[in-house]
Amino acid sequence: MICETKKKLALAAVAIALGGGMVSAQKKGADYPIQPVDFTQVHVHDNFWMPKMELNANVTIPYVLDKVKTTGRIDNFLRAAKKIPGDKLTTYTFDDTDIYKVIEGASYALQVKPDPKLERYLDTLIAVIADAQEPDGYLFTFRTINPAKPHEWVGTKRWEKEEDLSHELYNSGHLYEAAVAHYKATGKKSLLNIATKNADLLVRDFGFGKEERYPGHQVVEMGLARLYRSTGKKEYLDLAKFFLDVRGPRPGQRPNEYGQAHKKVVDQHEAVGHAVRATYMYAGMADVAALTGDKSYLTAIDHIWADVVNKKMYLTGGIGATGAGEAFGAAYQLPNMSAYAETCASIANVYWNNRMFQLHGDARYIDVLERTLYNGLLSGLSLNGQQFFYPNPLASMGQHPRRDWYDCACCISNMTRFLPSLPGYVYAQNNNDLYVNLFMSNTGKIQLPVTAVNIKQETEYPWQGTVAMTIDPAKEAQFALKVRVPGWALGKPVPGDLYQFTSKQNKPVMMTLNGKPVAYTMEKGYAVVNRKWKKGDKVQVHFPMETQKVLAHQSVKDDNGRFALQRGPLVYTLEWADNKDSSVQNILIDKAAPVQAQFRNDLLGGVMVLNTTGVGAKRQVNSDALIKTSQPVTAIPYFSWANRGTGEMMVWIPYEESAAKPKPAPTIASTSKVSASVTSKTMLLALNDQAEPANSNDHANLYFHWWPKKNSLEWVQYDFDSEKTVSESSIYWFDDAPFGGTRVPASWRILYKSGNEWLPVKTTTQYEVAKDRYNTVKFEPVKTTAMKLEVQLPENHASGIHEWKLK
């Protein structure tokens, strides 16, 4: 049992560490003081992760292998090798990496379960890659296919546009990751030789006094560190360090915050810019710090980590608040419906936090890792293994379908490589300290200096909080078992004060050894039992898995007056399919409402749902008072949403009326059938949802737009169910200047249907194009069954609409 004092001490330690940004990693040998237990040594057999990893191996990996072929990505390599004619390229200069990433994923999967057919197929792919490599090691199909006419993102000379968009080094980084994985899985050096030949070229070309350029999209730093560990070649580590140190402001150039080159990396203290690039870089900085002992990188990433967890992380562990630049937002800028929270950024967040743990040995990093893993990362993959999310928003009106494929497929191939590596995050060791970080039924084999240990976990996690462990050392030996006590089990959902539970966690964490309560100490979030262990020792831990309501820091204005539901590591959400009238945005729940957990075998592959009672709110015509009706409300785990088609979804539930989004009162607009001159129909919802925008550039409010069209005549139309008399129209334009591509229209007008004709209304006031307010036009009353809004787009921009009302 954890007594109150120990709990307080542990929390105090977290507070001190957070406030001080302290550096505690020591240089031990030349790598992380704490080493993960390789995933090949851990066999997961639970009911939660195992089916997902099998789905990845049996469905997603073959699916992605097929997709990289049918979308022409393999043809890129064949063309570069002159095996097929022509100079056609696929869309993006990082398309080669999808092949590398799926090879990496397939290699991990091979280590878990041998598959000779898959292994032979990888051999074939690798031979194709080898043929596309230039004699000196350069490997980048987007130039090699036709150096005289490369892709527009690629310079006339090698590396020329690397800092911009060519992604040459990004391709190299993923090649190295794949190569090491393939080598470890098969013992074959075929891909590793391609990788080292390429890395040797980079070593020759880059460095101070040579090509002094930084990677436009980071990842090569981590790749080089891994290649260094695998080959022992110090030049690779030196080059990784160079790629970090060469970043920084350039005289005469605008500071590149988007690409984390606005300052020297050691002078960066806040997370800025493109979230995936940034987080891959922070992980690379951790690698280089661990391998070189250079503490200046550590100070920087300690500060940046505190900035992210205190101010820039969604409750789901997702990072990157805004689609503009796929980037971190300002402090506390965490909009829900427009949340970007790219799947790749969640994967990057796991990589980074695991490295922070390996440096500091503190459970708070695994708390962040676990939160990300079970929520913002897992939501990226559908239950059928063949549909995906790129952004992972926390609210939806139904405009967020999962997709079978994205032209920019980074998140899809990243998922294939991450999932099978998961068992490698369960255990870690430092001399004779054995860390248990994640909970899932598995058997693990760990070689401590003092003895080999077999360890077994049996648990129904994340649905139940009991974990039974059997410790089987090869011989009786003294070592420390360090079991992570998740922050949520101690009443602290995250390190820092960004999120907190509404009620104290009163139930204690229980721990027994061979059936009896055991004395242990709390160290950095771990329950530590240091003793002589013998064969068959049984440890049982029980984490109190209560449903908790979570509040966000008051500075997160998008979550004001709202709470979220969490149970164990899982964040919950309301989804249309489980709730009255397929609506959830209009639901309000009392902050004190009791919530019951119920396991539903029949739902979403078997999930724990949360049941409670709330009210559905509706607006009425001619009164500001809401109509509120009591109704049962059901929440599902966030990761499982959007597996039953599209519709409303909401993580942050209003408990205050001011935060609620009541169902619109029936108006001419809200009861109309909407159509428009666009292909994406999900946007049509925006026009008559009666959600009031804060301003024209409000991305958190659903909006309609014609981007990327420009300079054309477009329309939207309302069809009525019966003839109506209309004499006024009000439009709130969407305009995302200066960074976006949408502006108020060049001109516009209103038409009404008269028989089979469309006639312009006779206005008595002006057609206006003002921003940040409604543009109301009055006209002589018309009796009609349909109205049309005709919009002339500006010469160089699209236009968009938040709301269109009629009276």
Complex with Zn ion: residue 275 or 289, whichever CB lies closer: 275
Report how many residues bind Zn ion under the rule CB under 5 A.
Answer: 4
Min CB(403)–Zn ion separation in Å: 12
Closest-approach residue to Zn ion (CB): 344
Beta bridge partners of 763: 779
Considering only residues 638 through 697, tell me which ones interact with Zn ion, judged by CB under 5 A: none
Considering only residues 770 through 789, tell me which ones interact with Zn ion, judged by CB under 5 A: none
Taking CB under 5 A as the rule, which mask of x and - marks residues 537-566 in contact with Zn ion? Answer: ------------------------------
Stretch that binds Zn ion, among 404-412, 560-568, 659-667, 793-801 (CB under 5 A): 404-412
Active site residue 211: no
Residue choice 126, 224, 272, 410 for contact with Zn ion (CB under 5 A): 410
Q: What are phi and psi of 368, to 5 degrees?
A: -70, -40
CB 281 within 8 A of CB 246: no
Stretch that binds Zn ion, among 338-346, 367-375, 610-618, 678-686 (CB under 5 A): 338-346
Stretch that binds Zn ion, among 23-31, 299-307, 342-350, 631-639 (CB under 5 A): 342-350
Q: Could you tell me the CA-to-CA distances from 642 to 61, 404, 552, 598 in Å, in that order?
A: 21, 13, 24, 20
Complex with Zn ion: residue 327 or 653, whichever CB lies closer: 327
Stretch that binds Zn ion, among 155-163, 320-328, 344-352, 797-805 (CB under 5 A): 344-352
One-letter amino acid of 443: T
Complex with Zn ion: residue 387 or 775, whichever CB lies closer: 387
Complex with Zn ion: residue 344 or 617, whichever CB lies closer: 344
Q: What is the DSSP string of 564-615?
A: EEEETTEEEEEEGGGSGGG--TTEE--TT---EEEEETTSTTSEEEEEEEEE
Helix, strand, or coil (residue 35): strand
Rule CB under 5 A: is residue 319 a binding residue for Zn ion?
no
CB 350 within 8 A of CB 418: yes
Counting Cβ atoms within 10 Å, is residue 702 exposed (0-12), middle (13-18) or buried (19+)? buried
Catalytic residue among 177, 221, 410, 575: 410
Min CB(36)–Zn ion separation in Å: 24
> How far is 263 from 265, CA to CA, in rounded Å?
6
- What is the SS3 string spanning 452-496? EEEEEEEECCCCCCEEEEEEEECCCEEEEEEEECCHHHHCCCCCC
Rule CB under 5 A: is residue 411 a binding residue for Zn ion?
yes
Min CB(414)–Zn ion separation in Å: 6
Rule CB under 5 A: is residue 344 a binding residue for Zn ion?
yes
Is the omega angle on the peptide bond into residue 738 within 30 degrees of 0, that is, cis?
yes
Structure tokens at 347: 């994967």
Complex with Zn ion: residue 406 or 599, whichever CB lies closer: 406
Q: What is the DSSP string of 278-296?
A: HHHHHHHHHHHHHHH--HH
Considering only residues 503 through 542, tell me which ones interact with Zn ion, judged by CB under 5 A: none
Active site residue 4: no
Considering only residues 110 through 139, tell me which ones interact with Zn ion, judged by CB under 5 A: none
Complex with Zn ion: residue 413 or 579, whichever CB lies closer: 413
> How far is 64 from 424, CA to CA, in rounded Å?
23
Complex with Zn ion: residue 338 or 346, whichever CB lies closer: 346
Complex with Zn ion: residue 327 or 455, whichever CB lies closer: 327
- Do strands 433-436 and 477-484 pair parallel, antiparallel, or not at all (unpaired)? parallel
CB 414 within 8 A of CB 58: no
- Do strands 673-676 and 757-760 pair parallel, antiparallel, or not at all (unpaired)? unpaired
Stretch that binds Zn ion, among 26-34, 118-126, 336-344, 452-460 (CB under 5 A): 336-344
Rule CB under 5 A: is residue 377 a binding residue for Zn ion?
no
Rule CB under 5 A: is residue 275 a binding residue for Zn ion?
no
Interface residues with Zn ion (CB under 5 A)? Answer: 342, 344, 410-411
Task: Indicate which residues carry an active-site annotation.
Answer: 326, 410
